[in-house]
Amino acid sequence: MATRRQFIRISAVGAGAVIAGATGFRLLASELTEGQKATLAALNRRTPTYCEVCFWKCAGWVYKDEGGAIKKITGNAEDLNCNGRLCPRGTGGVGMYHDEDRLRKPLIRTDERGTQSFREASWEEAFDYITEKIKKISAEHGPECIALFTHGSGGKYFSTLLRALGSPHVAAPSYAQCRGPREVAFQATFGEALDSPERLDIRDTKCLVLIGSHLGENMHNGQVQEMSDAIDKGATIITVDPRFSTAAGKSKYWLPIKPATDMALLLAWMNVIISEELYDKAYVEKYTFGFEYLKEHVRNLTPEWAYGITTIDPTVIRETAREMANAAPAVIVHPGRHVTWYGDDTQRLRAVAILNALLGSWGRRGGFFRPETFELPEVIHPPYPTPKRTWRTEFPDLYKLADTVLANGVCDASVPDPSRNCQFKGWIVNGTNLMETLPNQANTLRAIEELDLLVVIDTMPMEITGYADVILPECTYLERYDDLRVVQHRKPQIALRAPAAEPMYDTKPAFWMARELAKRLGVIDYFPFEKIEDQLDWQLKQVGSSLEEMMKIGVKTFDRTADDLYFYPDEEVEFYTGSGKIELYSTLLAEAGFDPMPVYTKHEEPPVGYYRLNYGRAPMHTFSRTSNNPNLTDLMDENSVWVNPRVAKEWGLSTGQYIHLVNQDGKRSEFPIKVRVTERIRWDSVYMVHGFGHQEKKLRRCYGKGASDTNLITKVLVDPIMGGTGMRGNFVTFITDLAKEEVAS
Ligand SMILES: Nc1nc2c(c(=O)[nH]1)N[C@H]1C(S)=C(S)[C@@H](COP(=O)(O)OP(=O)(O)OC[C@H]3O[C@@H](n4cnc5c(=O)[nH]c(N)nc54)[C@H](O)[C@@H]3O)O[C@H]1N2
Ligand SMILES: Nc1nc2c(c(=O)[nH]1)N[C@H]1C(S)=C(S)[C@@H](COP(=O)(O)OP(=O)(O)OC[C@H]3O[C@@H](n4cnc5c(=O)[nH]c(N)nc54)[C@H](O)[C@@H]3O)O[C@H]1N2
Ligand code: SF4
Ligand SMILES: [Mo]
């Protein structure tokens, strides 16, 4: 164990050494010390990449030893997403490559779904099988009845394939299970979504307000680094969380809010900021729409009112509101990321957006900057055919403001329903473990049962691969090219991912798979380049670079087209909203029949003897994708359930004891979970890290370790505005009398 811990530390030191080495190039070889020679040799053996362990996509370098074996990954110093430093998960990414449990060959199911009976197949055979099924579904039901679920780089190629076939149905769980409500709320307020990396000027902020967002456990690299810089420069951190998070430990104020009541706090903050005239008057006057309505709306929503709901002391509500106003406009009420909590999430995020508008932080230093992305020419191919039907046809009046396909919507529309004339028949699932990712597993299973085709593209045998008809094993990100990374930031940048090694076993990159399928399905014109490296080189040459150059530098930075990171004084700004202004009163929501200003609604509370199931991240893991990673399991190999001492006493629970959890619908955890008694969680909730409790036996390192929160999320609070799946309305109680043999296993 100590050795791998050491490994992670050493690789961080290594990054510094190599950077220093790179500046010493002018020396003659004969003048080099042995250490410098070794550094130079290592530089020659490095390959550029960007990380696939989470979606921050930090750019880095993969180093190999003299024998050509992959040794370590470090951050690229030029990269704005990581500033030369990877997080522990990114460093541990080599474990994805080395994992002996990886998928090795294409597999075709031989028996009923879910029985785990597969036979090895050739690529040829696997593609023929898929081609035949896709043709049949398209002929009988239309190509629109095939959907792609994706989270990860390869999604781009399967999306091209699907659109070429005539289906618009590309769904990502990173929308309706993650940041969708935030994007809709910010779109409605400022006329722009936030995307990632978020345009937060944390490094220059004077006050950062975290509502849930557990930075430090949520390891989104650049944000964690900037938060630590801001703290060093004296910024005030205010954390609102029912749990004493890592961020709460760095905060001037920790507001241990009663779960599901944040809306009341946000409205009370607006009340204080408006009634004490602390808002940015000139900014509100110039840029916003509907201030008078808002003022009236929050008139009676005082801190005393909110106290009864949130349990937060009115004095603290006032003090923190003043703290924000003092820092304004260099203040950020963090928009969060995983925001699908209680079903009124778009409205809660509207409240967050409005608060930022009152403080004048949008477009200001230390608030929200204007990001810029690089325009990379797209590959030229024929236009996509116009689909005859879309998911909108199936849900005409539902989720009116959803601006993309909903993963849960596709799932629902795969279950036969007499009210619908179309039903999804085929799923292609790339890089998303739907069984652990979508709430209400019974519903996901029910949908899967109805499918004529389920193809899963993955690197590992996961819960979802167990249900596939065909499994296509992808090589890891360290063994392939992918599209150039183009993300928004303070400056436009592009980053290259190139293979540091040949794909192991019989694994292949997604680009190749999608193209082979396109050939067989008669849509090869959409993939004009046979090799992705030729495509990348073509794209790069259009913008004055080349694959050769990118292999040397990994990341290329371009100048901004304008010096407009922040609004100029008195700048005239046109916002892409109905009124052309920042909408405190939303015309978009009003037209769609929703509350134009956020309203507090009471959420269900746990029954007696039950506790709200709360979940989050651990710094060394990403969802369920890293649980089997040999490097990262050494740092954390199971999750625990956090229980307040008062509750522990009542139930006779002690730290280290294994128990089961059972939810309000009688759904029991599949595996026992270890108790952690701690003051850091409120007495009305319990907390666990998402991503453990794997049921897939082929994951030999993590099978049965800890419990899965998804198993216990049977109740889903769907956001009527955009269809996000609120997952924090589930309650659990404890089963303490475990059979001895179960604990031993
Ligand atoms: N290490 C690591 N980092 C990651 C990821 C990962 O898997 N691993 N995943 C990335 C992704 S995709 C996302 S979306 C983000 C998610 O990370 P965040 O956006 O930060 O997620 P949240 O749900 O806001 O954070 C969970 C926190 O919310 C608190 N919480 C629970 N209920 C309530 C409530 O009612 N009110 C308030 N105020 N707080 C509450 C919990 O106690 C917990 O501390 O993390 C990203 N970063
Ligand atoms: N209960 C519960 N549900 C949640 C969350 C939660 O906290 N709790 N979080 C929500 C959030 S914020 C998000 S963003 C989603 C994330 O949901 P997912 O994106 O589904 O996350 P993972 O569980 O990591 O699944 C990723 C899958 O991709 C595979 N994979 C990894 N690398 C590659 C690769 O290079 N190629 C291919 N083809 N596959 C690869 C992994 O083996 C794994 O099967 O989950 C949401 N659902
Ligand atoms: S934050 Fe960590 S896991 Fe995510 S891309 Fe960056 S290094 Fe990889
Ligand atoms: Mo997410």
* Structural domain boundaries enclosing 31: 1-41
| 163 and 187 inside one domain | no
Which residue type is seen at 22?
Answer: A
| 226 and 353 inside one domain | yes
Tell whether 216 is covered by a domain. yes
For residue 393 the two structure tokens come to 């046809």
| 340 and 415 inside one domain | no
Contact criterion met (CB below 8 Å) for 656 and 690: no
Q: Does the pLDDT at position 180 exceed 80?
A: yes
Ligand 1 atom closest to Cα of residue 728: 32
Please tell me the distance between residue 525's alpha carbon and the centre of ligand 4 in angstroms.
34
pLDDT of amino acid 261: 98
| 367 and 408 inside one domain | no
| 210 and 167 inside one domain | no
Tell whether 549 is covered by a domain. no
Q: Which of 241, 600, 682 to mutate to test the pocket of ligand 1 (most atoms within 8 A of CB)?
A: 241
pLDDT digits (tens, 9 = 90+) for 672-730: 999 999 999 999 999 999 999 999 999 999 999 999 999 999 999 999 999 999 999 99
pLDDT of amino acid 118: 96
Contact criterion met (CB below 8 Å) for 567 and 555: no
Least-confidence region, from 4-18, 151-165, 609-623: 4-18
pLDDT digits (tens, 9 = 90+) for 42-83: 777 899 999 999 999 999 999 998 888 999 999 999 999 999
Among residues 554, 471, 472, 466, the alpha carbon closest in space to that of 512 is found at 472
Q: Note the Cα 468 to chain centre separation in Å.
A: 24
Tell whether 64 is covered by a domain. no
Tell whether 113 is covered by a domain. yes
Among residues 177, 240, 161, 208, the alpha carbon closest in space to that of 518 is found at 161
pLDDT of amino acid 116: 78
Please tell me the distance between residue 570's alpha carbon and the centre of ligand 4 in angstroms.
36
Q: Name the residue with tokens 């209680």.
A: 342
Burial 52-64 (b: 16+ CB within 10 A, else e): bbbbbbbbbbbbb
User: d(Cα 627, Cα 622) in Å, to the nearest integer?
Assistant: 8
| 145 and 181 inside one domain | no
DSSP output for 501-521: SPPPTT-B-HHHHHHHHHHHT
pLDDT digits (tens, 9 = 90+) for 629-680: 999 999 999 999 999 999 999 999 999 999 999 999 999 999 999 999 999 9
pLDDT of amino acid 24: 37
Which residue type is seen at 304?
Answer: E
**29 band by pLDDT with thresholds 50, 70 and 90:** low
pLDDT of amino acid 383: 97
For residue 459 the two structure tokens come to 């690197």
For residue 132 the two structure tokens come to 């035949």
Q: Average pLDDT, stretch 606-613?
A: 98
Ligand 1 atom closest to Cα of residue 210: 38
| 277 and 313 inside one domain | yes
pLDDT of amino acid 743: 52
Q: Does the pLDDT at position 395 exceed 90?
A: no
Q: Does the pLDDT at position 10 exceed 80?
A: no
Nearest CA to ligand 2 atom 17: 437
CATH code of the domain containing 430: 3.40.50.740
Q: Is the peptide bond before 256 cis (omega within 30 degrees of 0)?
A: no
User: What stretch of H or E contains 109?
Assistant: strand 107-109
Q: Does the pLDDT at position 414 exceed 80?
A: yes
Which residue type is seen at 641?
Answer: V
Those residues whose beta carbon sits under 5 angstroms from the ion ligand 4 are 178, 338
Tell whether 499 is covered by a domain. no
Q: Average pLDDT, stretch 391-406?
A: 86
| 321 and 183 inside one domain | yes
User: d(Cα 534, Cα 528) in Å, to the nearest integer?
Assistant: 10
Ligand 3 atom closest to Cα of residue 87: 2
DSSP output for 262-301: HHHHHHHHHHHHHHTT-S-HHHHHHHEE-HHHHHHHTTT-
User: d(Cα 462, Cα 623) in Å, to the nearest integer?
Assistant: 12
Residues with CB under 6 A from ligand 3: 51, 53-54, 56-58, 82, 86-87, 89-90, 219-221
| 437 and 577 inside one domain | no
Please tell me the distance between residue 691's alpha carbon and the centre of ligand 1 in angstroms.
13
Average pLDDT taken over every residue of the chain: 93
Please tell me the distance between residue 436's alpha carbon and the centre of ligand 1 in angstroms.
16
* Shortest-distance ligand to the CA of residue 616: 1
**12 band by pLDDT with thresholds 50, 70 and 90:** very low
Nearest CA to ligand 3 atom 7: 90
Q: Does the pLDDT at position 159 exceed 80?
A: yes
Nearest CA to ligand 2 atom 30: 431
Among residues 459, 182, 520, 472, the alpha carbon closest in space to that of 334 is found at 182
Ligand 3 atom closest to Cα of residue 86: 7
| 165 and 197 inside one domain | no
pLDDT digits (tens, 9 = 90+) for 354-364: 999 999 999 99
Please tell me the distance between residue 223's alpha carbon and the centre of ligand 3 in angstroms.
11
Domain count, the chain: 4
Please tell me the distance between residue 425's alpha carbon and the centre of ligand 2 in angstroms.
23
Q: Average pLDDT, stretch 135-142?
A: 96
CATH code of the domain containing 675: 2.40.40.20
Q: Does the pLDDT at position 15 exceed 70?
A: no
Tell whether 338 is covered by a domain. yes
Contact criterion met (CB below 8 Å) for 179 and 719: no
For residue 13 the two structure tokens come to 């030191």
| 167 and 192 inside one domain | no
pLDDT digits (tens, 9 = 90+) for 544-595: 999 999 999 999 999 999 889 999 999 999 999 999 999 999 999 999 999 9
Give this prediction's pTM: 0.94
Q: Does the pLDDT at position 8 exceed 60?
A: no
Least-confidence region, from 112-121, 175-184, 563-572: 112-121
> What percent of the chain shows pLDDT beyond 90?
88
| 194 and 340 inside one domain | yes
Tell whether 191 is covered by a domain. yes
Tell whether 557 is covered by a domain. no
pLDDT digits (tens, 9 = 90+) for 293-352: 999 999 999 999 999 999 999 999 999 999 999 999 999 999 999 999 999 999 999 999
